[in-house]
Structure 1
Amino acid sequence: MYAVWKLSLANLKKRKIQNSLIALLVLLSTLLLSTSVILISNTDNLFTGMHEKTNGSQDILRLDGGLHDPEKVHAFWEKEPGVSVSKLLPYHTLSGVSHNGSDIPNLLLFMMDTPQRPLGVDELLPARGTLGETPAAGQAWIPTSLAYSHDIAVGDTLSFKTSQGALELNVSAVVVDIPYGGPFSTESRIWMNEADYGGLSASEGAKSSYMMGIRYDNYADRQAHWTAFEQFLGTPYLESVMTFAEISSFYLILNQVIGFVMIFLAVVMMAIALFTIGFTISDAILTQYRTIGVLKSLGLTSGKTIGVYLIQYAFLSAIAIVPGLILSRFLSRIIVDSTLSYLKTDTGQLPLSGMNAAALTGVLIFLLVLLCVWAYGRRARHIAPVQAIRYGMSESDSRRESRGIGASGKSLVGFGSLPAVLVVGARNLLKNIKTSTLMLILAMVTSAVLVLGYVVLSSVMNIQQTSPQWGYDNSDITVRVFDPASFSKTEFEAGLAADDRIKNVSWHSGVTGVIESPERAASEKAEDTMGVVVSIVEGSYDDIGFAVLEGANPVNPNETAIGVNVAKTLSKSLGDTVELYVEGQPHVLTVTGIYQSVANSSNSVRIKSETVQADNPAFSAADVAYINLNDHSQADTVVPELNERYAASISAATQKTLLDSVFREAATTLILPMSFMGALFITVTLIIIYSICLINIRKEIKTYGIYKSIGMSSGQIRRSVALGVSILATVGALLGILLGVYALPVILESILAGYGMVDLPLVFNGASVALIACLSIPAAAAGSWLSSGIIRKTSPRILVVE
């Protein structure tokens, strides 16, 4: 055993640089894999923990259409066993707010009449400032999503647009409000004092709407409770409900995307690391073939020979995995604080868990390294001492080596006419096919990772180009009516018709409906019915720019387009019929299109206003107007004119402004992890290619000595090696472009499918993709150039001496 230990130490001392690089590679693999494990673990744990801490709701009921009596609905849930319900919360809806003189676009505001705490469900946690029982007069509490994304601090003043002018409230606290405080939220609850709310109610001249939060003692019993609820109502529930899946989705989506991508890349990196270790061991066995033969002739067994490598790489893995695990905690902290920032409070950091899972990941990596070492080290068993001492290799390898490249008398195609620099580089690659293949795969994977990161970021940052494929409109201007009482649709349309800059206008309203299969009457299965968001358009869906994946948008009153998750849940396809309840009235509609939408996870349907008007002739879609211009560039001019002319009732914004308000945050959050993974793979490429080229050059050092003795300079030889590797990396980069653009996005689509996105809309510039992919080429060239430095330091006289 002493001999095995001494040989292991000798191997560690002899190849310091190579061993250091392998240790660094294991460290980076550990860092990436354990970070992804911690990230995925904490995504669920942190949200679930905060949800439990606030006694968070699992359904939010909004009653604003007058279809159910709020008091009766609240009374039912209060008496329902196994259910907790919040106090009945009155509110008014506004859609205009400004901070420091700047309007905050694309935000629907629920102005809440705050009851005395506790609320019962969805308790508010102070993130900044101090909470009393209720806000003081003239003050308000706002959610973290609004405060953090627009730099609103405690003590700032917000100005809210009402029909009677501006209502100014001072921010006295920022609160964690789970249902309406998530990332990308376009809805915020503003918690007001009772007196301020009374003044708002008087100015708006409309009845209050109501909402309540519901939490189940056992979430698995949810369907049974809803069955009892609808039996109590005598009809399906026809007003708005936000489910737990909708509440949690935007808290979890970014970390799940980042985490799953990191796991995939970590597995790829670990495979490369293990292959590199195996290659290094194989090379060490070939290099020390004669030495191993001598040792075996002196009594060293094959098992002990394998033990030499096991001890060596166990030591390297141990000193690499521990710091990798430590660093993963810091990296996870940075990513978690970025993606779950709206759960943070000033009282302390978000608690990180998953350390045990990360430690198990480290143990798994350690065992995988040892298994790889054992598998490759077993090749030493086949070394015959006599052949090793005589040939320095097996007899068959010796015969093959003696023939060399082109020994059959046939020269390699075209080599005679090529420059010497190119021939030397090509020979280096062709003589080492296995290592050349590894470098090709490495360059391909690195380029694919870089391209994927660029494509994802570019697609999110340039979402305006593909907004219909994300489920958004493609109009030039969006106008939201926040005060219907003082708004005249007829007057507004007349003003637009008189403006020759306006091309067309379509109107949109959104309500909650219930959709069923007509077959449900026979089956009575609960899964055959679901609540959906119903988009009602007066005008043309095509003019607005809403896209479909299959079929077409509805044109006639008896037609509908359904979201992909509705189609999946109810097993519907084009030509099938569904029964949709809107405002309590059933409508049997034919499915003409299927679309995707990230806004509501594709749990929605599209119908025409004529569908509703068949039962309610007075109905008119007038919540949002989508306006197209003859000249798209005039949108920035038309918007302020509309806001000034109809200041008391509408809020207008360009499509770019609205999309930026939602997706700018996603792009900012994704930059750090995507950049980190790209930089990590570039570093790994340089490290591995340096190690591989160093091994190859040491094996061929005598040949390079001969080249130097016949007139080639060290610089020419080094350029030859670097040129060959660069050409190989270029081929890998081209293959990586195909992988990063066409293959890896499929992984994202599988993750986003649950959020209603089955066909990821990609936006990228071909030249930029090529430039990003080519970053792996200088990394490969630098690794080969640095490793060839030993050629410059070695004397040709020594190299040609046998």
Structure 2
Amino acid sequence: MYAVYSLCLANLRKKKIQNGLIGLLILLSTLLLSTSVTVIMNTSNLFTDMHNKTHGSHELLTLGNEIHDPQMVHQWWNKQEGVTSSKLIPFRVLVGINNQGKEQDEALSSLQLYMMDTPSRPYAVDELIFAQGNESLTPEKGTIWLPTSIAYLYEISVGDTLGFKTGESNFELKVSAIIVDVPYGAPFPTEARIWMNHQDYNEQIQSLAGKDQYMMGLRFDDYSQSTSYWEKFEQDIGTPYLGSRMSFGEISAFYLVMNKAIGFIMIFLGIVMMLVALFTIGFTISDDILSNYKTIGVIKALGLSSRRMIGIYLTQYALIAILSIIPGLIASQWISSVIVESALSSLKTGVTESSLGGNLITLAVGIFVLMLVVISVLVYSNKTRLVQPMQAIRYGMSESDNSTMTKRLTTKENNIMSFERAPLLVVIGLRNVLKNRKATLLMTLLSTIMSAVLVLGFVLIYSISNIKQTLPLWGYDSSDIYLRVVNVPAFSYEEISKKLVSDPRVKNIGWAGYVFGVVSPDKNLSSEHANTQPVNFQINILDGRFDEIGFTTLKGENPQSKNEIAIGISVAKKLKKEVGDVVEVYIEGNKHTLTVTGIYQAVANQSISARVTADVLKVNHPDYNDYNLAYINLVDHRDTDLIVNELNVKYKDSLSAQSVQTATDATFKQAVASLILPMSIMGLLFTGVTCIIVYSTSRINIRKESKIYGIYKSIGLTSTKIRLSITLGIVALSSLGAVIGIFVGVYLLPMILGSILLDYGIAELPLILNWGGIIAFACVTIIAAGLGSWASSRLVATTSPHILVIE
């Protein structure tokens, strides 16, 4: 045992740099793998914990437009056992906030606001958690409670005064508290609930023309039984439910989608990096056995058994692994916390720091990594059993390897590829690459992975930063201006439509609105796919052509007549419908038989939505013009800001105009911020690992070829030329890996990521391929490999030819 211990210490002392680099590689592998697992696990856990803490609703109902009696619906659900119902909360819709005393933010001024008549706390469902400000039963007069999703994103603090537009007049309220509002507090907010004092609501909001709408939340003791409750509800009221119904999946989607995608990428690449680490360890052990074949033979001849020889390597690398895994696990906790909190910042209360759970899982990851290292060491060090002392002492290798090498030297090679006329530096560089096949495979694989990671990160961030170009593929339009109705009584559809149509700068315009429809089970359907559960979804209405506004489909085309409908991929999946099939939809109490003309994807509502033309509504309501939004395309995009300003001045009492670029920047800037940190971490890790492995591998190869390089120097070849030739060979190798990595990062990894986003309504990930940037980031791989190779070749420059030849 003492001999094993002594030899283990000797290996650790003799190869400090090599052991240190392997230790760092294990540390980084552990860091990435542990971080990915922690991010995936805690993303769901933190949301679930907050949802449970607030007694969050599983379904949120919006009642209005006289489709159902809100009081009747509330009474029915309030009587059900196994269901907890919230109070019926009145609200009105406004658009835009102006933070007084600060420069006006166009994105903030375009938010859709649900002005809530706040009932007294506590709430049985969807309790509000106070993040800043003094906790109270209701907001004091002249104050509001603002959700964290808006406050954190737009840097609004307690004490700030906010201005609101009603169309007819403006009013101001002071922020007295910032609260976590789970149903409307997700990242990428386009709408929010503003909690008002009852007296302020009566004075400022209820006095406006129009009627109140109502919200109520439902929390089920067993959410899986919700279908049976809804079937009973619809039987009792005699009609399908035609109001808005936000499910738990829709509530949680934007909380989870970004970190789920990031975590998936990290765990996938973490596994790949771990495999690279294990391959590196195996390569190092194999090379060490071959380099010290004669020494191992002598030691075995002196009586040390093969089992104890294996024990030397096992002890050495187990110790390195333990010393590397521990700091990797500790660092992963901090990085995981930063990543999770950056995407779930709207759930931070500021009272107590959120701590990540799953320490046991993290420990299990560390043990798993250690086991993989041990198994890898056992597999590769088992080659010492094949070392025969007599052959090792005589040949310095096995007799069969010696025979093979002798034949190779004595046989005249007639290869197709000849280096006789190639430049000397190219010959030396390629010889170094082609002779060391395992090292070549390792560096090619590493260059491919690093290039793929860098390219994927760039493509994702660039695509989201320039999402205006791919908005239709995300389920949005591609118009230039949004025109939103903020004061219905002051709004004149005919007057404004006539004005916009006659404007020569306007190319086309489409007026839009939405209703909620439902497809109920039809017992008379003979189809084998007859639906057994009602599907409630938002139906987008357009007075105009969807294609002109920029809406697109994955299959088929957009609807054009009163008998047609396009549906989201999630609706198509639930209904088991394809293009050409017929669906029976209830819209505002009326039954419509429509043909599916297209299927589209949309990140909004998880593709649980549909599109119809206004002609469908005009079948039962010939004068229908209940629109709340207009999409405007211009002849010249450069006129956008000018026309937006003109519309806001001329129709300030009824409309709010905004450029689409401003709206998309506001919605997706959080997504870019959430992506930059993890993708930067992964990019830096893989860049560092590439340098480390190339440095370590090249150093091993140079030591093996020390005699050859000594001869080169002794016959007059300078150290710089030798180092340059070695570096050129590695650069050529990494260039091959970078080319393969571009393909993986642009096509393969997004395809895998798209499978994760399918549950969120995206079947095909819309990407923008900027090939200049892609090639530039792929070249970082080549530069990193070249720097690692050049640094390792310093060994040639610092050693004299005489010593190299002797070695």
Task: Determine if the TM-score, normalized by the shorter chain, exceeds 0.5.
Answer: yes
CA-to-partner distance for each residue in 1:435-493, whole Å, 9 max, x for gaps? Answer: 11211111111001100000010111000000000001101111111211110011101
Whether the 8 Å CA contact 2:168–2:487 is kept in 1: the answer is: no
State the alpha-carbon separation in 1 of the partners of residues 683 and 553 from structure 2: 34
Whether the 8 Å CA contact 1:105–1:658 is kept in 2: the answer is: no
Whether the 8 Å CA contact 1:537–1:621 is kept in 2: the answer is: no
Q: Which amino acid in structure 1 is aligned with residue 690 of structure 2?
A: T
CA-to-partner distance for each residue in 1:668-695, whole Å, 9 max, x for gaps? Answer: 1110100110111010000011111111
Could you tell me which residue of structure 1 aligns to residue 235 of structure 2? 231
Post-superposition offset of 1:27 = 0.4
Q: Which amino acid in structure 1 is aligned with residue 123 of structure 2?
A: L
Q: Which amino acid in structure 1 is aligned with residue 569 of structure 2?
A: V
Post-superposition offset of 1:554 = 0.4
Could you tell me which residue of structure 2 aligns to residue 94 of structure 1? 94
Structure 1 position 752 matched with structure 2 position 757: yes
What pairs with 1:311-350 in structure 2 (closer than 5 Å)? 311-350=315-354
State the alpha-carbon separation in 2 of the partners of residues 412 and 700 from structure 1: 25
Post-superposition offset of 1:494 = 1.8
Could you tell me which residue of structure 1 aligns to residue 300 of structure 2? 296
Whether the 8 Å CA contact 1:517–1:577 is kept in 2: the answer is: no
Structure 1 position 58 matched with structure 2 position 32: no
Q: Which amino acid in structure 2 is aligned with residue 25 of structure 1?
A: L
Could you tell me which residue of structure 2 aligns to residue 218 of structure 1? 222
Structure 1 position 631 matched with structure 2 position 643: no
Post-superposition offset of 1:411 = 5.8
Could you tell me which residue of structure 1 aligns to residue 692 of structure 2? 687
Using structure 2 for the length normalisation, give the TM-score. Answer: 0.97
State the alpha-carbon separation in 2 of the partners of residues 121 and 406 from structure 1: 86
CA-to-partner distance for each residue in 1:488-508, whole Å, 9 max, x for gaps? Answer: 011101221332111111111
CA-to-partner distance for each residue in 1:218-251, whole Å, 9 max, x for gaps? Answer: 1121112111211222111100011100110100
Structure 1 position 536 matched with structure 2 position 541: yes
Post-superposition offset of 1:402 = 3.4
State the alpha-carbon separation in 2 of the partners of residues 600 and 636 from structure 1: 30
Among candidates 174, 198, 206, match of residue 178 of structure 2: 174
Could you tell me which residue of structure 2 aligns to residue 798 of structure 1? 803
Post-superposition offset of 1:3 = 1.2
Could you tell me which residue of structure 2 aligns to residue 14 of structure 1? 14
State the alpha-carbon separation in 1 of the partners of residues 23 and 805 from structure 2: 34
Structure 1 position 43 matched with structure 2 position 43: yes
Using structure 1 for the length normalisation, give the TM-score. Answer: 0.98
Structure 1 position 440 matched with structure 2 position 444: yes
Could you tell me which residue of structure 2 aligns to residue 620 of structure 1? 625
Could you tell me which residue of structure 2 aligns to residue 457 of structure 1? 461
Q: CA distance change for structure 1 residues 101 and 319 in 2, over 3 Å: closer, same or farther?
A: closer
The SS at the match of 2:479 is: coil
Could you tell me which residue of structure 2 aligns to residue 769 of structure 1? 774
The SS at the match of 1:581 is: strand
Whether the 8 Å CA contact 2:227–2:533 is kept in 1: the answer is: no
What pairs with 1:131-150 in structure 2 (closer than 5 Å)? 131-150=135-154
Structure 1 position 604 matched with structure 2 position 580: no
Post-superposition offset of 1:517 = 6.5
Whether the 8 Å CA contact 1:517–1:579 is kept in 2: the answer is: no
Could you tell me which residue of structure 2 aligns to residue 781 of structure 1? 786
Post-superposition offset of 1:405 = 7.2
Could you tell me which residue of structure 1 aligns to residue 513 of structure 2? 509
Q: Which amino acid in structure 2 is aligned with residue 293 of structure 1?
A: G
State the alpha-carbon separation in 2 of the partners of residues 726 and 391 from structure 1: 35
The SS at the match of 2:606 is: coil
CA-to-partner distance for each residue in 1:704-748, whole Å, 9 max, x for gaps? Answer: 000001110111111110111011111111111111101110121
State the alpha-carbon separation in 1 of the partners of residues 146 and 116 from structure 2: 10
State the alpha-carbon separation in 2 of the partners of residues 747 and 650 from structure 1: 43
State the alpha-carbon separation in 2 of the partners of residues 325 and 201 from structure 1: 53
Could you tell me which residue of structure 2 aligns to residue 164 of structure 1? 168
Q: Which amino acid in structure 1 is aligned with residue 592 of structure 2?
A: H
Post-superposition offset of 1:337 = 1.6
Could you tell me which residue of structure 2 aligns to residue 575 of structure 1? 580
CA RMSD after TM alignment = 1.5
> Is the deviation greater in 119-128 or in 513-522?
513-522
State the alpha-carbon separation in 2 of the partners of residues 322 and 409 from structure 1: 52
Whether the 8 Å CA contact 1:517–1:570 is kept in 2: the answer is: no
Shift >2 Å, 4+ stretches: 200-203, 399-414, 515-529, 798-802
Whether the 8 Å CA contact 1:59–1:215 is kept in 2: the answer is: yes
Post-superposition offset of 1:167 = 1.5
State the alpha-carbon separation in 2 of the partners of residues 475 and 406 from structure 1: 75
Could you tell me which residue of structure 2 aligns to residue 120 of structure 1? 124
Q: Which amino acid in structure 1 is aligned with residue 702 of structure 2?
A: I
The SS at the match of 1:416 is: coil
Could you tell me which residue of structure 2 aligns to residue 30 of structure 1? 30
CA-to-partner distance for each residue in 1:630-675, whole Å, 9 max, x for gaps? Answer: 1111111100110111101111111101111100111011101001
The SS at the match of 1:475 is: coil
State the alpha-carbon separation in 2 of the partners of residues 797 and 360 from structure 1: 51
Whether the 8 Å CA contact 1:201–1:207 is kept in 2: the answer is: no
Whether the 8 Å CA contact 2:554–2:601 is kept in 1: the answer is: yes
Among candidates 266, 270, 276, match of residue 270 of structure 2: 266
Whether the 8 Å CA contact 2:240–2:520 is kept in 1: the answer is: no
Could you tell me which residue of structure 1 aligns to residue 673 of structure 2? 668
Whether the 8 Å CA contact 1:70–1:210 is kept in 2: the answer is: yes
Post-superposition offset of 1:408 = 2.2
Could you tell me which residue of structure 1 aligns to residue 310 of structure 2? 306
> Is the deviation greater in 148-157 or in 2-11?
2-11
Q: Which amino acid in structure 2 is aligned with residue 246 of structure 1?
A: E
Structure 1 position 421 matched with structure 2 position 431: no
Q: CA distance change for structure 1 residues 525 and 590 in 2, over 3 Å: closer, same or farther?
A: closer
Q: CA distance change for structure 1 residues 781 and 519 in 2, over 3 Å: closer, same or farther?
A: farther
State the alpha-carbon separation in 1 of the partners of residues 804 and 77 from structure 2: 89
Whether the 8 Å CA contact 1:689–1:780 is kept in 2: the answer is: yes
- Seq. identity, %: 50
State the alpha-carbon separation in 1 of the partners of residues 211 and 9 from structure 2: 83
CA-to-partner distance for each residue in 1:504-544, whole Å, 9 max, x for gaps? Answer: 11111111111247567568976543111101111110111
CA-to-partner distance for each residue in 1:572-625, whole Å, 9 max, x for gaps? Answer: 111111111111111111111110000111111111111111122232241110
Whether the 8 Å CA contact 1:238–1:512 is kept in 2: the answer is: yes
State the alpha-carbon separation in 2 of the partners of residues 524 and 76 from structure 1: 31
Structure 1 position 85 matched with structure 2 position 85: yes
Post-superposition offset of 1:404 = 4.8
Whether the 8 Å CA contact 1:516–1:529 is kept in 2: the answer is: yes
State the alpha-carbon separation in 2 of the partners of residues 338 and 407 from structure 1: 64
Structure 1 position 205 matched with structure 2 position 209: yes
Q: Which amino acid in structure 2 is aligned with residue 7 of structure 1?
A: L
Q: Which amino acid in structure 1 is aligned with residue 323 of structure 2?
A: I
State the alpha-carbon separation in 2 of the partners of residues 639 and 517 from structure 1: 46
Post-superposition offset of 1:282 = 0.3
What pairs with 1:393-404 in structure 2 (closer than 5 Å)? 393-404=397-408
Among candidates 682, 689, 694, match of residue 677 of structure 1: 682
Among candidates 639, 645, 663, match of residue 658 of structure 1: 663
Could you tell me which residue of structure 2 aligns to residue 356 of structure 1? 360
Post-superposition offset of 1:410 = 2.7
CA-to-partner distance for each residue in 1:743-763, whole Å, 9 max, x for gaps? Answer: 110121011000010101111
Q: Which amino acid in structure 2 is aligned with residue 374 of structure 1?
A: L
Structure 1 position 383 matched with structure 2 position 387: yes
> Is the deviation greater in 293-302 or in 606-615?
293-302
Whether the 8 Å CA contact 2:167–2:655 is kept in 1: the answer is: no
Post-superposition offset of 1:406 = 9.3
Among candidates 430, 436, 439, match of residue 434 of structure 2: 430
Could you tell me which residue of structure 2 aligns to residue 642 of structure 1? 647
Whether the 8 Å CA contact 2:493–2:625 is kept in 1: the answer is: no
Post-superposition offset of 1:261 = 0.3
